[in-house]
A and B are shown apart, each in its own frame.
Chain A
Amino acid sequence: MRHPVRGILALIAGAVSLTAGAWGQDRTAIICARAVAPDGTLSDLGAVVIAGGKVERLAKADEIKEQAGLKIVRHEGAVICPGLIDLCSAIGEFQNNLERAKAVDPSVSAIDAVDPGDPALGRALRAGITAVMITPQPSNVISGVAATVRTWTAGPRVDALRTDGPLVFALGTSVFSTDREPTSRPGALVLLRGALAAARDGKGAARVAQVLAGKLDAIVICEATEDVDGALRTFGEFKLAPHIVHTADAVELAPDLAERGPSRPATIVGPYTFTSSPRTLEGAGALERAGADVAFTGGTPLGEAAGLRVTAALAVRYGMDAAAARRGLTVGAARVAGVEGRVGSLKPGMDADIVVFSGDPLRLESRVIEVYVNGVRVYTAPPPVGQDESGGSYE
């Protein structure tokens, strides 16, 4: 173990899982005041019953009665939330995800670069991020497939939720090079169009062919609005509408996306910081009002892990609907990563990857109290400074 805190976490988890295993059918009820519902609103179904690592049912706090085999954990005034999901992260693969051999390189996989001992995984977990979609660096027109992994690692293994997608495309100056093509936006789009056309004609890479057949999802990381235009135009020629990652001038995309109707792609924005320009920060709200599903990237591991929640909070501060922002942190992100069948929402049958916040996760004074993965408590936050065990407060 490289990090002492992770060692402690592993011990707690090991102990809890042993206990759970011994009792077999044991259930746990986490009772909070409210819950982040799948539609992003704060509902009063604040009690979540977990069995066998899955969410069994949701209930109001006072509906849970003590009974044999039911362990009750109570957090007064807290908000229970699906584990947050950070998109386009480089956690675990930082500085190891830049493969520049070919500008069109769909065969590589981000999962092959992941280091399960990366301390950034633990930092993310303690900030309430239970899963990250890690992507190859967007330095190629086709950079390879992303993977979605849990930030909780059992020993030396990464717990991957998905290893085969989405396929990551990129446009903008980051794909240009001086020693291989492309060197320009038109050149990049020639390569993109060529790769899609070759796959259509049965001569291209298998993964690109899967994208064309609708069997593999795709995201396009776009540096500028003209890259978004180019992506939507080029993919549109092949009747595809991949998810778009664009932050800086996202506000300019809103009118176009509004006109596109239901076929509009989901968009991923971020990271937002307190020094981002207001115009940039208005992007998420503008896209959301245009009808697009908006999810976030928090900039991990370069930024601090709390950056994901800061990004969503700033999006709300600059006009985004709060429920839409909570969706963007949870179920919306799960949809982009293609893992919404397992995590991202508090619904019966979903994996019990859960965070207990002291309040609304969009409020920055809310803090993480506990984190559960597969129904197992893997992190308990120490009481905040100034607040002792007896329940005293800052005042």
Chain B
Amino acid sequence: MSNATVRTCGMWVAGFGALVAIAGRADALQTEQPARLVIRVGTLHIGDGRVVQNAVVVIENGKITAAGEGSTVPAGAGLIDLPEGSVTPGLIDACAQIETRDLAVTRRRSPGGPGASEPQRREAGQPSALALFFEGTHAEGSDDEDGCVCSGVAACALANTHENLGPGQICPVCGFPAAPGSPLARGLVSGVAGGWSETEASSEVVPHTRVIDSLSLRSRDFDRLVRSGVTTVFVTPDSAAVIGPQGAIVRTAGPVRDRLISDHGAVEATFGSDAYSVGMGNSPPFGRFVSIRTRRPNTRMGVAWVFRKAFYDAQRWKEGLPVGGADAPPPEALPVLQQIREGKLGLRVQARTQPDILTAIRLCGEFGVGFTLVEGTEAYECLAELKLRAIPVIFGPIYDEADPSPRLYSGETDKSRLSTLRDLIEAGVPTALTAQDLRDEDGLARQVMYAVRAGVPLEKAVQAVTQTPAKMLGIDDQVGTIEAGKRADLVVWTGKAFDATSRLVVVISGGQVVVDARERAAAK
């Protein structure tokens, strides 16, 4: 063998070795999260009201394979060991409003190179919106060189520049002459849909439309939700239409293509002032006689009329009679309304005040339609009726001060009580708890803390954000409790769950750790 051949062979061997090394590394990356994961904690909240002390939860292939008392950890399994800590099912918000267009000021940093992942990009941080605004570096809607996307309109709402505007004055930030109470300012104060509506406005009756069609599954709102322990949400449409779109049930984490559980969720109807004030409102555009807003309700009487007319027309359609009139629902809506009457599609009614709740009960009773009450701020006034008719409630949010969101301007939250959830649960009404558009410090985990503070037993409050909403959404065979066979959606806490001194350290979705703050928690 000549020297040259030896050298060539040597190169081949080295090259092959390098290939093996690369392949080995790729394998290592793929199995970065062990196939079997064990969580050992002091307290296990199963989600159905039961609590187990000194428990382990075993996760394999995305599912829970064992959960209960014990301390043995199988060999070769990854371990999350928090003897002081506790574990709850992944939280479920049965009525989340998702911010599709992210109105808050956020920073999108360009990644270092093509290899940077989207989570890395998002980890780039979201500096305080007010801080960015007052740096004076951002104009409305600018998308500047360093990748900072900023909406000046949102900034004006965040900075309350409208507070000091006199009549007719123009806001220096957004350029709108909007008084604080205008739909625009209203909607933007909390950064959620309110002034801006994603609901189809060509009719008040749009149950044939679907919220999934206006939803970005990549919205950063999902990241906020998962960071606060929420792993499954029912995405609700906003309340701009009397009979609105169908909601969607989605996961907040995991690959975008696997997140959708159902795009044919319940239809949301609205009783109360939202139906004629959310979105651009129902006033016809100035100077035009006829528009798509002509003949639309401006009062509660009108809202009730549209609701009643829609189901009446659906009945006529079913009987083969002609459906007409300027306010007849769109033809595509009629079969969907009939599905609701036949119980094949769920109906939710958002109502806050006692009169609106009672109107909902009365009108749905006329057509024999069952429904789930959403929000129910004054539900404590209607406990007997709700219980008598077995109407489930998705209650919330709870707030102990004036609510800083579009709800405040509806005037329908004045009589909110901290104790409403407790009253509903004590009355035996099946009740889930929702944070709707509220996030982070007012998010769903904090809602549970409010509930406990107002006298709801901890296990009942946990149930209201886990098993109860899972049942309402018809997904309790998959999620909602920590039992063998269920999908591994879990939240791990450093101490007592939902305690003000505990931190949420690990969130698991489908067996994958999607939030891991253990190092940060240990450093504190």
Report if A112 contacts B (CB, 8 A): no
- Please name all residues of chain B whose beta carbon is closer than 8 Å to the beta carbon of A188 when the two chains form the complex: 213
CA distance A230 to B206 in the complex (A): 18
Select B114's contact among A277, A278, A289, beta carbons within 8 Å.
A289
Nearest Cβ on chain B to A179's Cβ, whole angstroms: 5
- Please name all residues of chain A whose beta carbon is closer than 8 Å to the beta carbon of B285 when the two chains form the complex: 178-179
- Please name all residues of chain B whose beta carbon is closer than 8 Å to the beta carbon of A179 when the two chains form the complex: 285, 288, 291-292
- Please name all residues of chain B whose beta carbon is closer than 8 Å to the beta carbon of A181 when the two chains form the complex: 200, 202-203, 292
**Count of A-B contacts judged by CB separation below 8 Å:** 100
- Knowing A190-B209, A278-B110, the reply to whether A185 touches B145 (Cβ < 8 A) is no
CA distance A128 to B495 in the complex (A): 68
Contact check, A186 vs B211: say whether CB atoms are below 8 A apart: yes
Select B216's contact among A226, A277, A280, A282, beta carbons within 8 Å.
A226
Q: A residues 285-309 with Cβ under 8 Å of B?
A: 285-286, 289
Nearest Cβ on chain A to B164's Cβ, whole angstroms: 31
- Knowing A252-B118, A255-B255, the reply to whether A187 touches B202 (Cβ < 8 A) is yes
Nearest Cβ on chain B to A177's Cβ, whole angstroms: 8
Q: A residues 143-198 with Cβ under 8 Å of B?
A: 178-190, 194
CA distance A386 to B245 in the complex (A): 65
Contact check, A226 vs B215: say whether CB atoms are below 8 A apart: yes
Nearest Cβ on chain B to A232's Cβ, whole angstroms: 11
CA distance A194 to B211 in the complex (A): 17
CA distance A188 to B214 in the complex (A): 10
Least CB separation from B215: chain A residue = A226
CA distance A260 to B64 in the complex (A): 30
Report if B415 contacts A (CB, 8 A): no
CA distance A265 to B62 in the complex (A): 31
- Please name all residues of chain B whose beta carbon is closer than 8 Å to the beta carbon of A184 when the two chains form the complex: 197-201, 209, 214
CA distance A106 to B520 in the complex (A): 57
Least CB separation from B260: chain A residue = A233
- Please name all residues of chain A whose beta carbon is closer than 8 Å to the beta carbon of B215 when the two chains form the complex: 226
Report if A224 contacts B (CB, 8 A): yes
Contact check, B257 vs A186: say whether CB atoms are below 8 A apart: no
Report if B218 contacts A (CB, 8 A): yes
Nearest Cβ on chain A to B385's Cβ, whole angstroms: 33
- Please name all residues of chain B whose beta carbon is closer than 8 Å to the beta carbon of A230 when the two chains form the complex: 213
Nearest Cβ on chain B to A140's Cβ, whole angstroms: 14
Contact check, A224 vs B202: say whether CB atoms are below 8 A apart: no
Contact check, A186 vs B114: say whether CB atoms are below 8 A apart: no
Select B257's contact among A194, A226, A256, beta carbons within 8 Å.
A256
- Knowing A186-B198, A255-B256, the reply to whether A279 touches B147 (Cβ < 8 A) is yes
- Please name all residues of chain A whose beta carbon is closer than 8 Å to the beta carbon of B118 when the two chains form the complex: 252, 255
- Please name all residues of chain B whose beta carbon is closer than 8 Å to the beta carbon of A275 when the two chains form the complex: 145
Nearest Cβ on chain A to B452's Cβ, whole angstroms: 37
B-side interface mostly: loop
CA distance A225 to B255 in the complex (A): 15
Contact check, A225 vs B218: say whether CB atoms are below 8 A apart: yes
Report if A319 contacts B (CB, 8 A): yes
Contact check, B292 vs A187: say whether CB atoms are below 8 A apart: no
- Please name all residues of chain B whose beta carbon is closer than 8 Å to the beta carbon of A319 when the two chains form the complex: 114
The winner among A249, A278, A286 for most chain B CB atoms within 10 A is A278
User: Contact flags (1/0) for B254-270 with A, using CB distance below 8 Å?
Assistant: 01110000000000000
Nearest Cβ on chain B to A173's Cβ, whole angstroms: 10
CA distance A225 to B219 in the complex (A): 10
CA distance A277 to B285 in the complex (A): 36
Report if B44 contacts A (CB, 8 A): no
- Please name all residues of chain A whose beta carbon is closer than 8 Å to the beta carbon of B110 when the two chains form the complex: 277-279, 282
Select B332's contact among A194, A226, A229, A249, beta carbons within 8 Å.
A194
Report if B163 contacts A (CB, 8 A): no
- Please name all residues of chain B whose beta carbon is closer than 8 Å to the beta carbon of A279 when the two chains form the complex: 108, 110, 147
User: Contact flags (1/0) for B272-307 with A, using CB distance below 8 Å?
Assistant: 000000001000010010011100000000000000
Contact check, B200 vs A182: say whether CB atoms are below 8 A apart: yes
B interface bracket (residues with beta carbon within 8 Å of A): 35 or more
Contact check, B213 vs A186: say whether CB atoms are below 8 A apart: yes
A-side interface mostly: helix
Report if A388 contacts B (CB, 8 A): no
CA distance A181 to B293 in the complex (A): 11
Report if B210 contacts A (CB, 8 A): yes
Contact check, B200 vs A226: say whether CB atoms are below 8 A apart: no
CA distance A229 to B292 in the complex (A): 28
User: Contact flags (1/0) for B195-238 with A, using CB distance below 8 Å?
Assistant: 00111111100101111111111100000000000000000000
Contact check, B214 vs A186: say whether CB atoms are below 8 A apart: yes
- Please name all residues of chain A whose beta carbon is closer than 8 Å to the beta carbon of B214 when the two chains form the complex: 184-186, 226
Report if B440 contacts A (CB, 8 A): no
Select B199's contact among A186, A252, A286, beta carbons within 8 Å.
A186
Least CB separation from A248: chain B residue = B143
- Knowing A179-B291, A190-B209, the reply to whether A252 touches B200 (Cβ < 8 A) is no
Q: B residues 166-203 with Cβ under 8 Å of A?
A: 197-203
Q: A residues 230-265 with Cβ under 8 Å of B?
A: 230, 233, 249, 252, 255-256, 259
Least CB separation from B197: chain A residue = A184
CA distance A177 to B386 in the complex (A): 41
Contact check, A187 vs B206: say whether CB atoms are below 8 A apart: yes
- Please name all residues of chain B whose beta carbon is closer than 8 Å to the beta carbon of A286 when the two chains form the complex: 114
Least CB separation from B211: chain A residue = A186
- Please name all residues of chain A whose beta carbon is closer than 8 Å to the beta carbon of B213 when the two chains form the complex: 185-186, 188-190, 226, 230
- Please name all residues of chain B whose beta carbon is closer than 8 Å to the beta carbon of A233 when the two chains form the complex: 212
CA distance A280 to B257 in the complex (A): 22
CA distance A314 to B257 in the complex (A): 30
Report if B100 contacts A (CB, 8 A): yes
Q: B residues 87-106 with Cβ under 8 Å of A?
A: 100
- Please name all residues of chain B whose beta carbon is closer than 8 Å to the beta carbon of A224 when the two chains form the complex: 216
CA distance A363 to B276 in the complex (A): 57
Nearest Cβ on chain B to A263's Cβ, whole angstroms: 14
Contact check, A285 vs B114: say whether CB atoms are below 8 A apart: yes
Q: Give 18 pairs: A residue, B residue, CB < 8 Å, sorted on A.
A: A178-B280, A180-B202, A181-B202, A181-B203, A182-B200, A185-B214, A186-B198, A186-B199, A186-B245, A194-B332, A224-B216, A225-B216, A225-B218, A226-B217, A249-B218, A275-B145, A282-B114, A289-B114
- Which 9 residue pairs across A and B have the least CB separation, nearest first? A187-B200, A181-B202, A186-B209, A278-B110, A185-B214, A226-B216, A183-B201, A186-B213, A189-B213
Other A-B pairs, 10, CB within 8 Å; known A187-B201, A252-B118: A178-B291, A178-B292, A179-B288, A226-B217, A230-B213, A249-B218, A277-B149, A282-B110, A285-B114, A319-B114
